[in-house]
Amino acid sequence: MRGKFITLEGMDGAGKSTHIPDIIKLLEKKDVEVVSTREPGGTALGEQLRTLLLKEPMHPETETLLMFAARREHIAQIIEPALARGAWVLSDRFTDATYAYQCGGRGVLANKVIDLEAWVQGGLQPDLTLLFDVPVEVSVARLASARTPDKFERESEEFFTKIRNAYLNRANNNPNRFCIINSNQALDDVKAEVKSVISTL
């Protein structure tokens, strides 16, 4: 039986990565193999591309192409083999992040990303996407007190507003796949909300 593919999305500072260990534990209680991974990254090549993508300035379309290059390796080496053997894949970001950051934030034309998505993914889409959503000012405040920021985390509030709007637009257009998590509440309340969603799988 093919496994399930779950993705976590949200702006930098939304707190999504905090919940990965808890989600893994919840999924493992279902007695399934869980493969936890991330984008950009997930493979040896992907991690090298991640370093470039998070640190080096580049043309927005170059950034988009490198994201999909890393994604192609990710799908071929990690995601598809895991799903085929019945494992559940949990990925910290996937293609929705490209629509949010590169289309929404950078202004790359959506039709170009649509074409790349069809080429690189075929029909592969997540079974469930958890979108951790916070107001932009909350995200910016959290990042201000975080570790040394990468090039995305150093972007302007206007950039993050575009990202948030793009994410919410994706969620509104794909209501059967997306579940919006209110990440602007007490951590225990966010955890309870996540647990409620995962328990329905």
Inter-CA distances, 148 with 85, 137, 190, Å: 38, 19, 25
pLDDT value for 150: 79
Evaluate if residue 148 carries a pLDDT over 80. Answer: no
Q: Return the percentage of the chain with pLDDT > 70, whole number.
A: 99
5-198: CATH class: alpha beta
Average pLDDT, the chain: 94
Using the predicted structure, report yes or no on whether residue 147 has a pLDDT greater than 70. Answer: no
The predicted structure's pLDDT at residue 158: 92
C-alpha to C-alpha distance for 131 and 187, rounded to whole angstroms: 15
52-69 pLDDT, tens per residue? 999 999 999 999 999 999
Residue 92: enclosing H or E segment and its boundaries?
strand 88-92
Asked whether the predicted pLDDT for residue 81 surpasses 90, the reply is: yes
Residue 146: band (very low, low, confident or very high) from pLDDT cuts 50, 70, 90: low
Is residue 144 predicted with pLDDT exceeding 80?
A: no
Structure-block tokens of residue 12: 């930098």
Q: Mean pLDDT throughout 158-184?
A: 96
DSSP 196: H
